[in-house]
Structure 1
Amino acid sequence: MNKEILRLPLYTLIAGFILGIINLITIRILIRGTNEWTLEMGKTVFYIELILSIIAFVFIGILLRQKYNRTDFFKSATLLVIYSAVVFILEQIMQYWGFYSMINSYLYLPVSIFTVITSLVARISNLEHIKWLHVIPSIFAPYLFLLFSKNPSENTAK
């Protein structure tokens, strides 16, 4: 296996960890001085997470554009898609059996820059509950990194 294709999952893992820390800091700042969570606080956290996820996505894409060609992006994104699907299925099984744990949150770290898409789709669809169909775009979102891949003519110019 080409170790080079593991860069994208590694970078998204690091970004997920950083986003998690920023999310915790944001929540602590918002709840300071109050005892209850409001809808406005939830919206604020969502928009901050959305903006930071977009920034992380673009930063990672630009960073890897120098090293990856279209095939590398596709292979790395496929690893993330498979990982995301497995974690989602595991989460659903654990919820079905009634023992959902915090471990699932940690398992989502490598793909957490994409999980905000689930919330975005749910907000756009105006449904009160996140249905499992809302998750499909976030599972396949790593393929968006193909937008940063070089054109085949750029690869042959080297």
Structure 2
Amino acid sequence: MNDPLISLSQQGATPLHIRMARVEDAPEIHRMIAALAVFLGDAHKHVASVEDYVRHGFGETPAFQCVLAEQDGRVLGLCLYFGIFSSWMGVPGLYVQDLYVSDEARGLKLGRLLLQQVAKLGAEQGCGYLRLSVDAANIGAQGFYEACGLQWSGSEKMYMALGEAFQALAGRA
């Protein structure tokens, strides 16, 4: 294990470690993102492979970073994120793409710990904000994020160009 960012000990329990993901963690990242897709009822939308996570997260110019929570060598949660920039505020920030805690670790406050660790890493790098989107039907997650101090941005809507629409926009259709 590389040096943990934080280690927590709870009475009678094995210490919990939160650390940066390494390339050899790509199968665990894949497993947890797949579990998140199943939880949201969108398993058919998760088409990424382990190799995609290796190539895009641990190559020469990583497209994302990831912190993992583990206990006894088992990965129990993750927070996958990447850098963004606000042209209006003039500061860099972080976008949390995925936050997931396994069923067996629910109630340990891992989601909050992972989110706090990502915010801390961002603040250390000069970031001034954190953004994320949440599935419109995931009321539990919405309440969790609000309890963590995040606020819903009612002034924006998210738009996406996927598949053929993206290819057409890129002039490749």
Bin for the TM-score computed over the shorter chain: under 0.3
Higher-RCO chain (CA-CA 8 Å, sequence separation at least 6): 1
Higher strand share: 2
Higher helix share: 1
